Amino acid sequence: MRYLMSMLMLLASSAIASTTDVKILVDSDKNPATGCRVITAAGNFDGAEHIYTTTFDNSTMTVTGVTHQQCVDPATATFGMPTSVDAGGWRVGTSGGNQILETHIPTVQVGGVHSMRFGFVVNSGTLTDAMLQRPGGGAIIFIPEIERPGRPHVVTSPGEHAITLDGDAGDWLGIVPLVSGGGGGGSPALRFMNISANETAAELFFLILIQANPKAPTANPDTYSVLRGSTLTVAPPGVLANDSDPQSKPLTAVLIAGPQHGMLSLNANGSFSYTNDGSAAPNDSFVYKANNGTDDSNAALVSINILSGTPPAITSANSTTFTVGTPGSFTVLKSGNPTPTLSESGALPTGVTFSPSTGLLSGTPAVGTGGAYSIIFTASNPIGTATQNFTLNVNEGPAITSANATTMIVGTAGSFIVTASGFPPPAIAEAGALPAGVTYNSTTHVLSGTPTAPGVFNIIFTASNGIGAPATQNFTLTVNQAPAITSANATTFTVGTAGTFTVTATGSPAPTLGESGALPMGVTFNAGSGVLSGTPATGTGGTYNITFTATNSAGTATQNFTLTVNEAPAITTAAANLTVCAGATATFTAAASGFPTPTVQWQVSSGGP
């Protein structure tokens, strides 16, 4: 096949030009491999032997001429210079923003009256549209009446319609359009609506309706599917969902042509109901337009694919069970015609995969993947889709995952949660004596309470779920007691005499002792034994305020302690002898040390020394 090209330029310097060109591309032998290629805004048109261009003035709406170009060099896709076919002069009709163009082609230039393939291009300035095939796909083929079924022996033009080139579509009544709008890609400002063709022995006539209204809405083609003999119901906005209006006005759907193989009810809001008649036709269609209250859109084709077969169904169970560390498999079964394809969505455990081609869910679940996995299987064929909510249970033997020891404190509420992995979730039991005030809840797996006595309690937790052997854990519950200093908060030593005092404390574990504060010379504290001892030195008598602490993991106790050091009295300053005259006052001074502070007594004697 040769691909032949012609650079047909459809651009101008402004959006709205003074003239409009409508080109009819003629493939007279209906063979895209011969003739020239024409490049258009809608794609390539291969096999064109002729181009007929009708030009009209946009201000006077009058045809100014029809020209003809012939493909002269298919290898380079070159067309000859335009030659005049008609000088024009007839009116282009207008109605509701539509332009009604009538034009013609001499049949002698295209090989007489016979079946041929057409393409259509319109451009005005930078605005352009092209209709190279039918909206639903397929070539635009003109079949003259002489070749239509039921008239095999007609050899002369029937001449049933007299066409006058005047922009009036009245003489086209009864002629079915060659192609309806929806196959082009133009905007409301310039796009094909409908094109009709009719022949005489000497001429091919065309009625071309062009929308040239920038305020008009745009309707786009739609495609649906329905099971043969069944009903398709489409909710609003239906066919209007992909349509638009340049002024954002609300749209209503208006039926232009109904289906051939079923019953249709099209509603203004775009919703519709279509019931297929069960015939063998593989597809059906209808044509509608969108209206914004004042203007109509182009005609849009709604294609309906008629499907044969049965819808898919998933027929296998909706759950299965695998076990960690053990290979497992499950086959998803489906029915339907054509045979549906399978897919899976949702997270799978590590080690497990799904094969859409075989429908096999298989693998060896990895350690730690026990649990319930909610996934979705989908079976699809052209008739429809079926889904199944599926549960993959992955069993896993139990394992106790919490620590194997905890500590509580006497008189203080405490709790510990025993945790275990595995699927199904394991039950956890406890064995062994617990301290008074502490209990274990086998439902919540909580060890809790307020212990009343210290100690170390060795117990056993057992987790079981019926998968493999139960898991056991040797557990140590240590009950500590906060420290308390139980000895007196005061003692007395004497200077020069050895003294001792033992600080005692309770608590679990056994607390360590500490002392802070100044001690008298000769006295020390042994933290290991808790003994305060020594011989206070001379002159150290007095009161010593110190602090004892007892500390363990449960806390710290403090005691304000008083060490009293007694010291025997001693006269440190003696009174001196004085000689005084009779009647005079004498003053004597004396001082003494000791603790408690001694008192000084004076004794008077007569007679002198």
Backbone angles phi, psi at 372, to 5 degrees: -105, 125
Predicted confidence band at 138 (pLDDT cuts at 50, 70, 90)? confident
Q: pLDDT for 418-474, tens place per residue?
A: 999 999 999 999 999 999 999 999 999 999 999 999 999 999 999 999 999 999 999
Type of residue at 20: T
Tell me how far the alpha carbon of residue 263 is from its chain's centroid. Answer: 40
Rounded Cα distance between 578 and 570, Å, is 23
Q: For the chain, what is the total number of helices (H) and then of strands (E)?
A: 0, 48
Cis amide linkage into residue 520, ω under 30° from 0: no
Task: Check whether 154 has a pLDDT greater than 50.
Answer: no
Q: pLDDT for 12-70, tens place per residue?
A: 333 457 999 999 999 999 999 999 999 998 889 999 999 999 999 999 999 999 999 99
Contact criterion met (CB below 8 Å) for 504 and 530: yes
Domain at 486-568: CATH code? 2.60.40.10
Q: In percent, how much of the chain has pLDDT > 90?
A: 75
Rounded Cα distance between 215 and 561, Å, is 102
Selected from 2.40.340.10, 3.40.50.2000, 3.50.50.60, 2.60.40.10, the CATH number assigned to the domain covering 401-482 reads: 2.60.40.10
Give the closest residue to 41 by CA, choosing from 77, 69, 11, 73.
Answer: 11
Q: pLDDT for 270-291, tens place per residue?
A: 999 999 999 999 999 999 999 9
Rounded Cα distance between 570 and 600, Å, is 10
- pTM as predicted: 0.53
Spatial CB neighbours of 147, under 8 Å, sequence gap ≥ 6: 114, 115
487-502 average pLDDT score? 97
Selected from 2.60.40.10, 3.30.1490.20, 3.40.50.10420, 3.30.1300.10, the CATH number assigned to the domain covering 313-394 reads: 2.60.40.10
Q: pLDDT for 224-241, tens place per residue?
A: 999 999 999 999 999 999
Backbone angles phi, psi at 239, to 5 degrees: -65, -15
Task: Check whether 137 has a pLDDT greater than 90.
Answer: no
A 10 A CB-CB count for 476 gives 13
Q: What pLDDT does 185 receive?
A: 65
Task: Check whether 260 has a pLDDT greater than 80.
Answer: yes
324-353 average pLDDT score? 97
Which superfamily does 222-307 belong to? Answer: Immunoglobulins (2.60.40.10)
Query: Would the CATH topology of 313-394 be identical to that of 401-482?
Result: yes
Rounded Cα distance between 129 and 262, Å, is 32
Q: What pLDDT does 60 receive?
A: 92
Higher local confidence (pLDDT), 605 or 112: 112
Task: Check whether 133 has a pLDDT greater than 50.
Answer: yes
Type of residue at 14: S
Lowest mean pLDDT, pick from 109-118, 175-184, 343-352, 578-587:
175-184
Predicted confidence band at 155 (pLDDT cuts at 50, 70, 90)? very low
Q: What pLDDT does 198 receive?
A: 94
Provide the 8-state DSSP code for 133. Answer: B
Task: Check whether 3 has a pLDDT greater than 70.
Answer: no
Cis amide linkage into residue 152, ω under 30° from 0: no
Task: Check whether 521 has a pLDDT greater than 50.
Answer: yes
Q: What pLDDT does 223 receive?
A: 94
Lowest mean pLDDT, pick from 99-113, 151-165, 254-268, 571-585:
151-165
Q: What pLDDT does 184 receive?
A: 61
Type of residue at 207: L
Quote the mean pLDDT of the chain.
90
Q: What pLDDT does 160 receive?
A: 53
Q: Where are the domains of the chain?
A: 4-145+155-177+193-211, 222-307, 313-394, 401-482, 486-568
